[in-house]
Structure 1
Amino acid sequence: MIMTYDIDKELRILKALTYEKFSKRRRITNILMNFSMIFAKPVKGMKIKKYSIKGYRDHRIKVYLIKHRKQNNLKKGLLYLHGGSFQLEGTPFHIRNLSKIALNSGYNAVYVKYKLAPKYAFPEGLEDSYKAYIWIKENADKLNIDKNSIAVGGDSAGGNLAIGVTLLVRDRLKEKVNKVLLFYPVIDHRQVTNSIKIYTDTPVWNSLLNKDMWETYLINGDFGMIEYASFINSNLRDFPETYIETAEYDCLRDEGILFAERLKSLNVKVYERHTKHSVHGYDGVFYSKFMKRRIKDRSAFLLGVLNDEEN
């Protein structure tokens, strides 16, 4: 039985995006998404510069530097990893939203086009993302970024990669990223929460798609690195200050809440925004008042002025 959901009127346009499986659409979707990125533009006051850098196993990946048009000093940096079930390319709305956050917060941002599953399954995308972090550190002066103040963020599967990069930076570099931003993140490969069980038909994302995603992402196994892919039981010591958003009608909702609780149990400062009447992928409705509130909170977190309580 298909359930009905009380979705915010500004987000109801997303109701049409309801699927049980999208693997057959993956190739054509990525062609269209790559084409659409030609038209991706930042908001006024920001500009984009594209780079080709070495990713995992020395293959080339593209990164986009989103920087302030007028700047005379080093900016804090934000490494951003897009969502798309580890299989789909990012979209122009990622660039627009990211550039708005960077403008509001005074950060320079780096957006990563990491390699995608199933051809490049775990840990390829994660290692690409880590390589991008290293590249920022090594080229910080050229990028006008303070190498000692780099935050990491991402939406959905990109949120998963953001957590993985944060842990790799801690374990390999013995360093700590500045802050972490997570928007309806993928957290737990076990898929055992109540929201996973009940949200089988929600728009944009549901537990059927989630199961297919994990099977595709881990198709070659976890190489003994599952703690960098699935995080409820990972060692989260010394995790940075974190901002987490969840969507009410999203199969990933409960694992995002559990991850926040786990961090708080380790005395990590966590700012939570559990949005109501919302579905996964609401960032796509970038023009809405709903998203303007989200951008405001995300920017305030980076600036260090966000209130603990939801508003």
Structure 2
Amino acid sequence: MLLRMLPVEDPRRDIDTASLVRRFPHLSGVRVRDVEFAGTDGVVSGRVYRGPTTPGRGLVWVHGGAFISGSLDMPESHWVGMELASRGISVLALDYRKALAGVSHPALSDDVLTGWRAAVEDADLLGVAAGDLHLGGASAGANLATGVTVRERDAGRTLPASLLLFYPVLHDTVPPPGPAAREAAIAVPPELRFSPQFMRAVTENYVGASGSTADPVAFPAHARLDGFPPTLIVNAEADDLRPSGEEFGSLLADAGVSAESIFEPGTAHGYLDHPGLPEAVASIDRIAAHISR
């Protein structure tokens, strides 16, 4: 059931750095470099994006991929990092182990935690102090970013200045959609829908045979949410996962957390993976505006 999400080579030939600069000349001043951190079991890979000006804020960003795919080269990671750096926000994009070949939670979370702490502890990495670091991600990456926030809150360590979650999956079972979300999702081709059966396969594969889908780090809808940083949730309009983001926003508000939950009009799940898409650019502008407050 997860075969459609297994890693395959992206057929697009215009998403590498040089191609993106040709397509979007305003990205020409962005400096990109790969970095590595010593993780709990091997090396954690990351990519740093710095713009031509002194950064005022920094973002640690985590791509999605159903916990089994995705990379630093996918536009949801690479193009987003370049765009934000061009707007004066330095970015550390993180990769992580995938839930394949016996790997499961908390390995993925451990890798993101390693990257987050590296950015907190080394102000030179992104050129900003720990208090100006934000954390976010898309889809499964949003889940991992939120789980790391749970861990750091529970450990009494440095929390992100804010949390930015794009089309997140935060529940082990996605809540039922409201009328508007249900109607919007109908427009998505059946082969691109996230059925309850598909999501059950995703969640069970992620936690592994010995794990629990009730784990509050694996699925933060189960977590205690008091003490969370201000959170921006941007859902895709036509997305079976939209109810998860919307319900999580309500849970945050009930816990006294400053939370804004919206949807980006005219979008489907994964839209940040399409460079230049007007709706994706609008969301990147939202990130920049939110972080720059």
The verdict on a shared fold, with TM-score over 0.5 as the criterion, is yes
Aligned-residue RMSD, C-alpha: 2.8
1:289 aligns to what?
Answer: 278
Secondary structure at the counterpart of residue 177 of structure 1: coil
1:239 aligned to 206, 228, 233, which one? 228
2:70 aligns to what?
Answer: 89
2:216 aligned to 227, 238, 245, which one? 227
Please, which runs of 5 or more residues in structure 2 have no aligned partner? 21-26
2:23 aligns to what?
Answer: none
**In the alignment, is the contact (CA less than 8 A) between 2:5 and 2:68 conserved in 1?**
no
> How far 1:282 moved relative to its partner?
1.1
1:157 aligned to 140, 159, 169, which one? 140
> How far 1:205 moved relative to its partner?
4.5
> How far 1:22 moved relative to its partner?
3.9
**Distance in 2 separating the partners of 1:273 and 1:66:** 27
1:48 aligned to 32, 46, 51, which one? 32
> How far 1:36 moved relative to its partner?
7.4
Q: What does residue range 121-270 of structure 1 map to in structure 2 within 5 Å? A: 121-194=104-177, 202=190, 204-207=192-195, 208-222=197-211, 226-270=215-259
**In the alignment, is the contact (CA less than 8 A) between 1:37 and 1:92 conserved in 2?**
no
Deviations 1:5-62 (A, max 9, x none): xxxxxxxxxxxxxxxx3427624x1xx25997993467222111111211223x1121
Change in Cα spacing, 1:211 to 1:39, as seen in structure 2 (3 Å) is same
**Distance in 1 separating the partners of 2:38 and 2:11:** 20
**In the alignment, is the contact (CA less than 8 A) between 1:152 and 1:181 conserved in 2?**
yes
Give the TM-score normalised by the residue count of structure 1. Answer: 0.80
Q: What does residue range 60-99 of structure 1 map to in structure 2 within 5 Å? A: 60-71=43-54, 75-90=56-71, 91-94=73-76, 95-99=78-82
**In the alignment, is the contact (CA less than 8 A) between 1:83 and 1:155 conserved in 2?**
yes
**Distance in 1 separating the partners of 2:51 and 2:13:** 23
**Distance in 2 separating the partners of 1:194 and 1:271:** 18
Please, which runs of 5 or more residues in structure 1 have no aligned partner? 1-20, 305-311
**Distance in 1 separating the partners of 2:222 and 2:17:** 38
Secondary structure at the counterpart of residue 185 of structure 1: coil
Deviations 1:143-168 (A, max 9, x none): 42212221100000000001011111
Q: Quick check: 1:103 aligned with 2:92?
A: no
Structure 1: which 4+ aligned runs deviate by more than 6 Å?
Answer: 34-38, 195-198
Deviations 1:104-138 (A, max 9, x none): 2x221101111111232111111100011111122
The alignment-based identity, stated in percent, is: 22
> How far 1:294 moved relative to its partner?
1.5
**Distance in 2 separating the partners of 1:25 and 1:289:** 25
> How far 1:70 moved relative to its partner?
4.0
**Distance in 2 separating the partners of 1:276 and 1:224:** 31
**In the alignment, is the contact (CA less than 8 A) between 1:180 and 1:243 conserved in 2?**
yes
**Distance in 2 separating the partners of 1:77 and 1:174:** 18
Deviations 1:208-246 (A, max 9, x none): 432221121012333798110112231011111111111
**In the alignment, is the contact (CA less than 8 A) between 1:76 and 1:150 conserved in 2?**
yes
Which sits farther off after the overlay, 293-302 or 78-87?
293-302
**Distance in 2 separating the partners of 1:276 and 1:35:** 25
Q: Quick check: 1:276 aligned with 2:257?
A: no
**In the alignment, is the contact (CA less than 8 A) between 1:34 and 1:89 conserved in 2?**
no
**Greater RCO (CA < 8 Å, at least 6 residues apart):** 1
**In the alignment, is the contact (CA less than 8 A) between 1:82 and 1:154 conserved in 2?**
yes
Which sits farther off after the overlay, 37-46 or 209-218?
37-46
**Distance in 2 separating the partners of 1:184 and 1:25:** 16
Give the aligned residue type for 2:31: K
Change in Cα spacing, 1:265 to 1:209, as seen in structure 2 (3 Å) is same
Secondary structure at the counterpart of residue 178 of structure 1: coil
Secondary structure at the counterpart of residue 189 of structure 1: coil
